[in-house]
Amino acid sequence: MTATATAPNPLREGLDTQRISDPCTIVFFGASGDLFKRMLLPSIYELRQRGTLPTNFALVGFARSQYDDDGFRAYCKEQLDQFAYGAKPDGAMWDDFAKCIRYVTADFGDTSHFEALKRILEENDRDLKTGGNRLFYLSTPPSVFPGIIDQLQKAGLDPKSNPKGWTRIVVEKPFGTDLASARALQTEVEKVFDEGQVYRIDHYLGKEPVQDIMALRFANVIFEPIWNRNYVQSVQITAAETLGVEGRGGYYDSAGALRDMIQNHVMNLLALVAMEPPATADADAIRNEKFKVFASIQPPALADVPKMAVRGQYDAGLIDGKPVPSYRTEPDVNPKSDTETYAAVKLFVENWRWAGVPFYLRSGKRLARKVSEIAVTFKNIPHRFYGEKTDEIDPNVLVIKIQPDEGVSLRFEAKVPGQKSHIRTVSMDFNYGTGFGVQSPPAYERLIADAMRGDQTLFTRWDAVQRAWEIVTPIQQSWQNATPTFPNYGAGSQGPHGATQLFDDWRTL
Ligand code: NDP
């Protein structure tokens, strides 16, 4: 399948240049960190090159590492030389961009450093005409989030002290490590910011194929009539990686697959698959429907957890033919760690549309293949009169491919050419790259642009975050109460054997 040649093609024509934000300064707390250099800075620079940043724009880095403004500009150039995914920093474009970069070397507990930030923001408003609009991006370890929010208020950088323009905050994941810590963080956030000023990042929501789930369901008439318990047998959502912890062992060992992937990214995919059509494209109309999905999932009783959740941890094995070590021997990981690197969960959305349809979610590291996808398996045909007796007639499966392939594939049965009436499974495929002629922009680019524009559609609302934690909390508790037999799957495998007891029809990785 390809996009119709005559149809307008927003991807081919570049991002929608009408949707440029107001003038603003974006402040990155944690600007010397990994996420900033690999994702955030390259996204901003690409937005500049696409003409999607406002003309009156400024960037301020804020972290503990020592830089002056010129030193930080040189650091940014160095990182862009390595990580920019469009044009590299050069010539007038870079010179112009570099002029709007400033830096504050900060002790995060020292209010005077936040006051120094305030002076820079006021200078930007005066010299660069940034209009008093401020976007604070928290890209530090989550333990520092409450302290930053508190200091913003002490230094008079909170929204109420800024009547001239808007003040918004972007909060990186994870939003809490369990229900109690998420609630504690929210208490700090809402002391200073209203919900309409808070942008909780789940970068999966910025991926084009994830945004396309709603378009597929609600901009076509053919899927919605069968998108329910009458026709759907099960839904499988997979987020599998071949990578291990990649230098982030310290963080991962305190997180694990359930917290790191299932509670946020995978649950958000589930919401998009299961939600009712919103009345409008308004951010809250969409987020209301997503929340209703989570409200329809009952947190399991502790005693039921072993029947609906399986965990695993990888042992040494082979990835792409190369030996890789076990999780417990990765740097910064406790050699006796019981942290799961694989989690599979079976949930039911208990409402009129989905009653009785199992949703199987799984995510893991060091698995056989990198793949994120949603597979909707339909029921079998009610009466068979076609095909040879030996032919398998498989159910139809619609697969929404998120990464590394991006697209949609429909598996259906077809007659094999010839005298006999043989039936075989074939597939119809749509691929973003070939369909639209360009690759999708990275998620962070879209999300940063949306936060600057004040569009919260692709950000997670507090009620949904809280409900997702409520759903996974009994699983966390049950797992904490029992010592697992780890490691229980080899690197490069399909995952732990127990996952097949939960569901015997996982798609092969
Ligand atoms: P890093 O550890 O690489 O960077 C942390 C940044 O925060 C540094 O700039 C550091 O400053 C600053 N910082 C301030 N206070 C502290 C403190 N008390 N302890 C440690 N660092 C401090 O983290 P990442 O960039 O990897 O992650 C940032 C956020 O983004 C986290 O919330 C993470 O969960 C999230 N995230 C990261 C992803 C990634 O791929 N890296 C992916 C998804 C989310 P300095 O070094 O100058 O002291």
pLDDT tens readout for residues 55-64: 899 999 999 9
Q: SS3 helix, strand, coil % of the chain, rounded to 5?
A: 40, 20, 40
1 has a pLDDT exceeding 70: no
pLDDT, one tens digit per residue, over 241-278 is: 999 998 889 989 999 999 999 999 999 999 999 999 99
Write out the H or E segment, with its range, that includes residue 200: strand 198-200
Q: Which fold has domain 205-441+460-502?
A: Dihydrodipicolinate Reductase; domain 2 (3.30.360)
286 has a pLDDT exceeding 60: yes
pLDDT, one tens digit per residue, over 457-466 is: 999 999 999 9
374 has a pLDDT exceeding 60: yes
In this prediction, residue 242 carries a pLDDT of 97
Are 38 and 71 in contact, with CB atoms under 8 Å apart?
A: no
Are 309 and 343 in contact, with CB atoms under 8 Å apart?
A: yes
Higher pLDDT, 27 or 421: 27
The region of weakest confidence among 207-211, 365-369, 474-478 is 207-211
16 has a pLDDT exceeding 90: no
Quick one: which atom of ligand 1 is closest to the CA of 65? 47
pLDDT, one tens digit per residue, over 76-111 is: 999 999 999 988 999 999 999 999 999 999 999 999
180 has a pLDDT exceeding 60: yes
**Ligand 1, residues 27, 28, 34: which to mutate, most atoms within 8 A of Cβ?**
34
**Beta-strand pair 322-324/167-171:** unpaired
Tell me how far the alpha carbon of residue 201 is from its chain's centroid: 7
299 has a pLDDT exceeding 90: yes
In this prediction, residue 385 carries a pLDDT of 84
Q: How far is the CA of 63 from the centre of ligand 1 (A)?
A: 9
The band of 300, judged by pLDDT with boundaries at 50, 70 and 90, is very high
Q: How far is the CA of 36 from the centre of ligand 1 (A)?
A: 8
6 has a pLDDT exceeding 60: no
Mean pLDDT over 406-423 rounds to: 92
Decide: 140 in ligand 1 pocket, CB within 6 A. Answer: yes
Question: Is 265 one of the catalytic residues?
Answer: yes
In this prediction, residue 430 carries a pLDDT of 94
Q: What's the Cα-to-Cα distance from 496 to each of 139, 305, 361, rounded to whole Å? A: 33, 17, 14
In this prediction, residue 31 carries a pLDDT of 98
What's the chain's Rg over C-alpha atoms? Answer: 24
451 has a pLDDT exceeding 50: yes
Q: How many CA atoms lie within 13 A of 7 on its CB side?
A: 8
425 strand-pairing partners:
413
Residue intervals of the chain classified under CATH 3.30.360.10 are 205-441+460-502
Mean pLDDT over 366-374 rounds to: 97
Mean pLDDT over 374-391 rounds to: 88
Could you give the CA distance from residue 116 to residue 332 in angstroms, rounded to a whole number? 35
The CB density around residue 110, as the number of other CB atoms within 10 Å, is 11
Mean pLDDT over 357-382 rounds to: 97
In this prediction, residue 419 carries a pLDDT of 85
Superfamily of domain 21-172: NAD(P)-binding Rossmann-like Domain (3.40.50.720)
State which amino acid sits at residue 170: V
Decide: 30 in ligand 1 pocket, CB within 6 A. Answer: yes
What is the percent of the chain with per-residue pLDDT over 70, rounded to a whole number?
A: 96
Q: In this structure, what are the phi and psi dihedrals at residue 207, rounded to the nearest 5 degrees?
A: -75, 135
Closest protein CA for atom 23 of ligand 1: 33
Write out the H or E segment, with its range, that includes residue 456: none
18 has a pLDDT exceeding 60: no
Decide: 32 in ligand 1 pocket, CB within 6 A. Answer: yes
Mean pLDDT over 410-439 rounds to: 89
Tokens of 248: 């982030």
**Ligand 1, residues 72, 136, 137, 139: which to mutate, most atoms within 8 A of Cβ?**
139
**DSSP category for residue 382:** S
Residue intervals of the chain classified under CATH 3.40.50.720 are 21-172
In this prediction, residue 432 carries a pLDDT of 85
The band of 33, judged by pLDDT with boundaries at 50, 70 and 90, is very high
Decide: 64 in ligand 1 pocket, CB within 6 A. Answer: yes
Q: How far is the CA of 172 from the centre of ligand 1 (A)?
A: 10
Could you give the CA distance from residue 323 to residue 314 in angstroms, rounded to a whole number? 13
Mean pLDDT over 277-283 rounds to: 94
Mean pLDDT over 442-451 rounds to: 94
Could you give the CA distance from residue 146 to residue 151 in angstroms, rounded to a whole number? 9
In this prediction, residue 8 carries a pLDDT of 52
Q: How far is the CA of 334 from the centre of ligand 1 (A)?
A: 21
Residue in 182, 194, 172 with CA at minimum distance from that of residue 468: 182
**DSSP category for residue 158:** S
What is the percent of the chain with per-residue pLDDT over 90, rounded to a whole number?
A: 86
Could you give the CA distance from residue 362 to residue 240 in angstroms, rounded to a whole number? 8
Residue in 481, 467, 482 with CA at minimum distance from that of residue 299: 467
In this prediction, residue 344 carries a pLDDT of 97
Average pLDDT value for the chain: 93
Quick one: which atom of ligand 1 is closest to the CA of 35? 25
17 has a pLDDT exceeding 70: no
Long-range contacts of 433-441 (CB under 8 A, 24+ apart): 433/406, 434/2, 435/1, 435/2, 435/3, 435/407, 436/3, 436/9, 436/11, 436/12, 437/3, 437/9, 437/11, 437/12, 438/11, 438/12, 440/11, 440/207, 440/208, 440/209, 440/406, 441/15, 441/46, 441/208
Tell me how far the alpha carbon of residue 349 is from its chain's centroid: 21
**Ligand 1, residues 29, 35, 79, 264: which to mutate, most atoms within 8 A of Cβ?**
35
Q: How far is the CA of 171 from the centre of ligand 1 (A)?
A: 12
In this prediction, residue 5 carries a pLDDT of 42
